[in-house]
Amino acid sequence: MRTIEQREAEFERTFEVKALADWRYYTADSVGGENAVLLLPGGVGIGISWVDLALALSRRYRTITVDYPPSATTFAALSDGILDVLDVEGVGRVHVVGQSAGGMLAEVLTQRAPGRVASIVFSGTGLYGPEDVDRLGVRLAAIQDSPWSPSTYTRQRRDVPVATESARQARDRSANSTSAAGSGSTRVTFMTLPSIW
């Protein structure tokens, strides 16, 4: 079994670190392929959190992951920034894997640019409807002072961006959007990715 330090070193050897405005992102294209995979991290927004899956995918696919910048405080801003990264990288359509809040971001990205997303995999992502708002409000109040709440975590780690748009705001905006049908449609997959170390 390799240590996290060994896996991190391999990630740093395999992936090129790039910047676009205040975005930092990582790319690997060892196969020169047209099939690109975009890995969207959860709410903490650190691309290297995908270390094992990113390394595994980079052997067969052009692989991109991102660090969310502090300036992008809504899913719309994150989505626009990701589209800018894909444009700079010359990626037309991409397979998207979203973990936790990254899955909600993948949903917003698909609503904003349906022709750019070839498929989506949601991992550990809550997909909530209007009927869940009251129940989730009670749960949110119960965990507000936990170490994992956004406000507590932000106080502990001021350098880590936290998305401030609620799932309800993102859902309400996406419900008012339209998506393309036909050749621009997106295949959606729900799964849990197993630990591979």
CA distance 72 to 118: 24
Nearest to 43 by CA among 172, 165, 131, 187: 165
- The verdict on residue 143 lying in a domain is no
- The verdict on residue 157 lying in a domain is no
192 or 137: whose pLDDT is higher?
137
- The verdict on residue 74 lying in a domain is yes
Q: Give the DSSP per-residue string, 43-91.
A: TT--GGGGHHHHHHHHTTSEEEEEEPPTT--SHHHHHHHHHHHHHHTT-
- Summarised one tens digit per residue, pLDDT across range 60-80 is 999 999 999 988 888 899 999
- Summarised one tens digit per residue, pLDDT across range 148-189 is 444 443 443 334 333 333 334 443 444 443 333 334 455 554
- The verdict on residue 137 lying in a domain is no
Eight-state DSSP code of residue 166: -
3-state helix, strand and coil shares in percent for the chain, rounded to the nearest 5? 45, 20, 35
Of the ranges 104-118, 141-155, 181-195, which one carries the lowest mean pLDDT score? Answer: 181-195
Distances (CA, A) of 16 to 80, 88, 137, 157: 22, 14, 41, 25
- The verdict on residue 61 lying in a domain is yes
Q: Dihedral sign, CA of 134, 136, 137, 138?
A: positive
- The verdict on residue 151 lying in a domain is no
Q: What is the CB neighbour count within 10 angstroms for residue 84?
A: 13
Q: Tell me, what's the pLDDT at 136?
A: 66
pLDDT exceeding 70 applies to what percent of the chain?
64
Mean pLDDT of the region 110-122: 93
Whole-model pTM: value is 0.68
- The verdict on residue 149 lying in a domain is no
- 86 neighbors 116 (Cβ within 8 angstroms): yes
Output the six-digit token pair for 78. 């994150």
Q: Tell me, what's the pLDDT at 125?
A: 79
Provide the domain limits for residue 37: 4-128+162-190
* 35: CATH: 3.40.50.1820
Please count the structural domains in the chain. 1
- The verdict on residue 33 lying in a domain is yes
- 57 neighbors 33 (Cβ within 8 angstroms): no
